Structure 1
Amino acid sequence: MIEILLIEDEFIIAKDIKVLLSKNNFALVHYARNYDSALDLFVKNSYDLIISDINLNGKKDGIEIITEFSKIKKVPVVYLTAYSDLDFIKRAERTMPFAYILKPFNNNQLKTTINLALLNFNKQSIKISENEENTSKLELLTIREKEVLITLSSGKITKEIAEELNISNHTVEQHKKNIRKKLNLTTVGELINFTISTQLLKLFK
């Protein structure tokens, strides 16, 4: 199970995210509503990912918090924001986040973005370069097939993928069959290597 630090000052939103990500043991979520509580959790625990609201009502906003945390340890970051303000985006880009999610967001979008962030962070960590030919092949896949590929490449089995995407096991197996045929790949290992060699985070829509 992945461990996530959630930094969000709106209690209802934080509660909804925590409940969503805790379902089916997708993730263990620790919640902080300001800089001090986030820092305390960050130095005491090892997190796979940070989800942070940009607009926090405190002495530091989300970008300032992540900037400071990145000096301690590199952890993939997904920003939440209610605004697509260019000034915020430019500031946030300096912290090299893996994605932004605009509020309101849907459940599948959040989980898919988390899986993508972890995959891309792993790709950078082991220094796998992009294969442009593989990236171009992503155009062969439907949106749902991309979601299945991302979740599969995150180490999920058919039952877990079905629960995460709210589809049947049979539908998952059919999507997997279609993906293998379109990409001319056979094993899960080949699919994982394919996924982390692409720019799926940028192209996924």
Structure 2
Amino acid sequence: MSKKMQVLIVEDEPIIADDIAICIGQMGHEVTSICNTADQALAVLDQSTIDLALLDIKIKGGRDGVQLAQCIKQKTNIPFIYISSLYDKTTISRAKNTRPSGYIVKPFKDEDIKVAVDMALVKTKIKPVNQSDTDQLELFIRERNAIVPLDFNEVFYIEASDNYSIFHFEGKHHVVSQTLKLIEQTLASQGYCRIHKTFLVNLRKIDRIEHSVVFINGRPLPIGKAYKKTFMSRLTIF
């Protein structure tokens, strides 16, 4: 039987909090606590083992949900998802800087909650590559006139371009003279999976999956029919 995940909900509107809790329960997980302030939530984190937090941004008290997320990141490495009616540029920018596992806009459907929670928990099952592992693969790429080590955890996805491949990072990319097929053979054991003839994705960086599209760092990438079964088999979905 799959482990029952302990979920913290931070939401100051009781009806919405109850709706979220019911959805979490239907997924087979357990709501450890429902809080309406950041201070209450931090107290729960000190006293309980939490696997996932769902955070409203506009909450009661002196700190909002984004400030709470910053505190959570300092205390623990659990994933968190924002649920908010706010989607203005400033709020989205603040939220993105905390690297949430998802962002759900109110009003939401139960399916929105389920997909976001599934994706957040998938990420927790894919451990970052540990540099101290004895079987760690050492890989280097060329950067201008230098050769630098590749951080497997920082690559978002790799894109095929004829006989070249493009490594996409946050705000930059690197072009290497290797085919995507050869790179796939090298990186499959490092948490990467082919989703399309053109794309190899870092499973740790997936934001969400909708229908036949994978979203990574805000970019939609198609899932090819020939790759969908293998790709889905790599995911742990509760």
2:11–2:59 CA contact under 8 A, matched in 1: yes
Alignment pair present for 1:15 and 2:18: yes
- SS of 2:126's equivalent? helix
TM-superposed deviation, 1:28: 3.4
Matched residue, 1:136 = 196
Stretches (4+) displaced over 6 A: none
- SS of 1:91's equivalent? helix
Matched residue, 1:182 = 226
5+ long unaligned stretches in structure 1 = 148-178, 197-205
Could you tell me the TM-score, scaled by structure 2's length?
A: 0.57
Structure with greater strand percent: 2
Task: Report the aligned-residue RMSD.
Answer: 3.2
Matched residue, 1:118 = 121
2:196–2:227 CA contact under 8 A, matched in 1: no
Could you tell me the TM-score, scaled by structure 1's length?
A: 0.65
Higher RCO (C-alpha 8 Å, min separation 6): 1
5+ long unaligned stretches in structure 2 = 130-151, 160-179, 181-193, 200-208, 215-222
Structure with greater helix percent: 1
Distance of 1:184 and 1:17 partners within structure 2 = 30
1:22–1:29 CA contact under 8 A, matched in 2: no
2:6–2:30 CA contact under 8 A, matched in 1: yes
Distance of 1:117 and 1:102 partners within structure 2 = 16
Distance of 2:91 and 2:114 partners within structure 1 = 23
Matched residue, 1:47 = 50
TM-superposed deviation, 1:83: 1.8
TM-superposed deviation, 1:143: 4.8
Matched residue, 1:201 = none
Tell me how many residue pairs correspond in the alignment: 159
Which has the greater radius of gyration?
2
Q: Deviations over 1:55-96 (max 9, x none)?
A: 112211001111112111111111011021111111112211
TM-superposed deviation, 1:30: 2.0
Q: Percent identity?
A: 25
Distance of 1:13 and 1:88 partners within structure 2 = 20
